[in-house]
Amino acid sequence: MGRRALLLLLLSFLAPWATIALRPALRALGSLHLPTNPTSLPAVAKNYSVLYFQQKALAAGQLHICIIQLNHYKTPLVDHFGFNTVKTFNQRYLVADKYWKKNGGSILFYTGNEGDIIWFCNNTGFMWDVAEELKAMLVFAEHRYYGESLPFGDNSFKDSRHLNFLTSEQALADFAELIKHLKRTIPGAENQPVIAIGGSYGGMLAAWFRMKYPHMVVGALAASAPIWQFEDLVPCGVFMKIVTTDFRKSGPHCSESIRRSWDAINRLSNTGSGLQWLTGALHLCSPLTSQDIQHLKDWISETWVNLAMVDYPYASNFLQPLPAWPIKVVCQYLKNPNVSDSLLLQNIFQALNVYYNYSGQVKCLNISETATSSLGTLGWSYQACTEVVMPFCTNGVDDMFEPHSWNLKELSDDCFQQWGVRPRPSWITTMYGGKNISSHTNIVFSNGELDPWSGGGVTKDITDTLVAVTISEGAHHLDLRTKNALDPTSVLLARSLEVRHMKNWIRDFYDSAGKQH
């Protein structure tokens, strides 16, 4: 996996729903996103027909059967910004209109991110929960190059020439064309307000969509959207510092145990017998070699990051099946950093096992797997090599990780080797304004204080209509998940505020339409 892989993992949970860049490996930290405890819900089969998909909404102790219309339309151009080609592709989107009202209704439009749109649909229970109250049609739009929305089919990831149209700008243009298509083809939708909603990278897209296409959407809810995790807008170490804080607060000496584990791994891996012992102690599926050690440490680091992102107050299976407050469970095994290397690593295994084997079904741990396959790692790898360039670093003092500086040149060389492209670290701030966004309106930025991505998010009000909502006990876009009896008060208040803002946007839209007539 290497440093670049871990970085990609971090960035990809930007979700989610994961990819970062400590060394180029960390470019993948962070892709968003899943359901709740599989033991708390009866299993419901997903029944497919040509046009309909039957899915459960994920909520512990609560079951929703959702009928979703699957549609493809051959309208989006592969290149919206050039004029020498008219090539189109099939973009997938989902529509649910059980509670939609043609009179006084609304359209909630999910700006799909880096993965299969059905997965995001099933993990955005908030939209299903508020649909009746807002008389809303729900639309979930799949992001180009993810899921089934592949502009060049099986050749979409063939080379940088085929991937050249994988950008946030092209994706936003897809969304705009889709909304035009919906309003043109669905009776009653033409004169209704549309609200963009998204989480993580999807939240960034929701905010950017409102900024770039304010005539298309009356407002946006951007949950856990790190729109400032670029260039030097925030310190490069803020992400891993928040991860460390989560572990430090969840158990005595927990973060210190993790901090000391890196040197323990280095010492134990110095010999062939040490490598063999590590393989057994960590219950790995494949024998370790000396070349695997950085990969191993990156995999462990990514595990701690993922736990911070999905530190939910109830059992869930967003990335893996996990107990409630999983970091507290993990930290029960990491109470004593002052033990021998072998005992410390045995404790580390017990902690890792909470994440990878809470269900008890796993026979060994695979250091090449950390999260759901519903996320599109190839596409995200390319995006993290082009415009989604997020600086990450660690120093081993303010955080519990080995020190790694942000190295743009190393990242650039690695990207060129893989894709034949070099990143443009300033493009996102040029395109979307960085912190100079006060001229925009009607965007709610929600962030959980437990979520490491909050360090790159908008956490204070910018204007009366660019509003920050903080969830003190919230991990990665907790507010977008289905309501749960164990939800903390802070997320209940956050959702209430979000709905209030959306109702105001809808009311203002209809008031304005009435005055025009």
Domain membership of residue 332 (yes or no) is yes
Name residue 483's amino acid.
K
Contact (Cβ atoms closer than 8 angstroms) between residue 253 and residue 334: yes
Higher per-residue pLDDT: 154 or 39: 154
The per-residue pLDDT for range 103-125, each reduced to its tens digit, is 999 999 999 999 999 999 988 99
Domain membership of residue 259 (yes or no) is yes
Report the candidate in 278, 139, 285, 276 with the shortest Cα–Cα distance to residue 216.
139
Q: Rounded to an integer, what distance in angstroms lies between the CA atom of residue 218 and that of residue 209?
A: 10
Q: Are residues 90 and 166 in the same domain?
A: yes
Domain membership of residue 392 (yes or no) is no
The per-residue pLDDT for range 4-38, each reduced to its tens digit, is 555 555 554 554 333 333 333 333 344 433 322 22
Domain membership of residue 97 (yes or no) is yes
Q: What confidence score (pLDDT) does residue 49 get?
A: 21
Q: What confidence score (pLDDT) does residue 374 get?
A: 52
CATH of the domain at 119: 3.40.50.1820
Label the pairing between strands 136-141 and 466-471: unpaired
**What are the helix and strand counts (H, E) for the chain?**
16, 9
Name the β-bridge partners of 35.
none
Domain boundary among 357, 375, 391: 357
Give 62's pLDDT tier (boundaries 50, 70, 90): very low
Contact (Cβ atoms closer than 8 angstroms) between residue 226 and residue 453: yes
The per-residue pLDDT for range 385-438, each reduced to its tens digit, is 999 999 999 999 999 999 999 999 999 999 999 999 999 999 999 999 999 999
Q: Are residues 106 and 193 in the same domain?
A: yes
Contact (Cβ atoms closer than 8 angstroms) between residue 31 and residue 16: yes
Domain membership of residue 41 (yes or no) is no
Token pair recorded at residue 132: 């009746």
| Residue 250 CB contacts under 8 Å (≥ 6 apart), including other chains | 311, 325, 327, 328, 330, 331
Q: What confidence score (pLDDT) does residue 350 get?
A: 98
Q: What confidence score (pLDDT) does residue 5 get?
A: 52
495 has a pLDDT exceeding 70: yes
Q: Are residues 134 and 195 in the same domain?
A: yes
Q: Are residues 78 and 142 in the same domain?
A: yes
378 has a pLDDT exceeding 50: yes
pTM of the model: 0.89
Q: What confidence score (pLDDT) does residue 138 get?
A: 94
Domain boundary among 336, 357, 378: 357
40 has a pLDDT exceeding 80: no
Q: Are residues 217 and 285 in the same domain?
A: no
Domain membership of residue 410 (yes or no) is no
The per-residue pLDDT for range 230-278, each reduced to its tens digit, is 999 999 999 999 999 999 999 999 999 999 999 999 999 999 999 999 9
Give 516's pLDDT tier (boundaries 50, 70, 90): confident
Q: Are residues 258 and 223 in the same domain?
A: no
Token pair recorded at residue 473: 């006990």
Domain membership of residue 363 (yes or no) is no
Token pair recorded at residue 487: 């939800």
Q: Are residues 243 and 334 in the same domain?
A: yes
Work out the number of other CB atoms within 10 angstroms of the CB of residue 363.
Answer: 7
CATH of the domain at 294: 1.20.120.980
Token pair recorded at residue 458: 């908008």
Contact (Cβ atoms closer than 8 angstroms) between residue 79 and residue 165: yes
Domain boundary among 312, 334, 357: 357
Q: Which residue stretches of 454-516 are H helix?
A: 489-516
Containing structural domain, residue 73: 49-227+437-514
Helix (H) or strand (E) holding 59: strand 52-59
Mean pLDDT rounded to a whole number for the chain: 87
Judge residue 409's burial from the number of C-beta atoms within 10 Å of its C-beta, 0-12 exposed, 13-18 middle, 19 or more buried. exposed
Q: What confidence score (pLDDT) does residue 243 get?
A: 98
User: What amino acid positions are annotated as catalytic residues?
Assistant: 200, 451, 476
How far from each other are the two terminal CA atoms of the chain, in whole angstroms?
A: 60
Q: What confidence score (pLDDT) does residue 20 get?
A: 38
Contact (Cβ atoms closer than 8 angstroms) between residue 116 and residue 481: no
Judge residue 126's burial from the number of C-beta atoms within 10 Å of its C-beta, 0-12 exposed, 13-18 middle, 19 or more buried. buried
Name residue 113's amino acid.
N
64 has a pLDDT exceeding 80: no
The per-residue pLDDT for range 79-112, each reduced to its tens digit, is 999 888 778 898 999 999 999 999 999 999 999 9
The predicted model gives 483-489 an average pLDDT of 97
Q: What is the full DSSP assignment across 92-136? A: EEEEE-TT--TTT-EEEEEE--SB-HHHHHHT-HHHHHHTTTTTE
Work out the number of other CB atoms within 10 angstroms of the CB of residue 353.
Answer: 17
Q: Are residues 199 and 165 in the same domain?
A: yes
Half-sphere exposure of 397 (CA within 13 A, CB side): 2
Q: Are residues 179 and 291 in the same domain?
A: no
The predicted model gives 325-338 an average pLDDT of 98
Q: What confidence score (pLDDT) does residue 207 get?
A: 98
Domain membership of residue 404 (yes or no) is no
The predicted model gives 456-464 an average pLDDT of 98
Q: What confidence score (pLDDT) does residue 71 get?
A: 64
Q: In the chain, what percentage of residues exceed pLDDT 90?
A: 76
The per-residue pLDDT for range 129-153, each reduced to its tens digit, is 999 999 999 999 999 999 999 999 9
List the single range of 25-29, 67-71, 291-295 with lowest mean pLDDT: 25-29
Q: Into how many domains does the chain fold?
A: 2
Q: What confidence score (pLDDT) does residue 379 get?
A: 93
The predicted model gives 218-227 an average pLDDT of 98
Q: What confidence score (pLDDT) does residue 27 get?
A: 39
377-384 vs 2-12: helix crossing angle, rounded to 10: 100
Half-sphere exposure of 473 (CA within 13 A, CB side): 14
Give 77's pLDDT tier (boundaries 50, 70, 90): confident
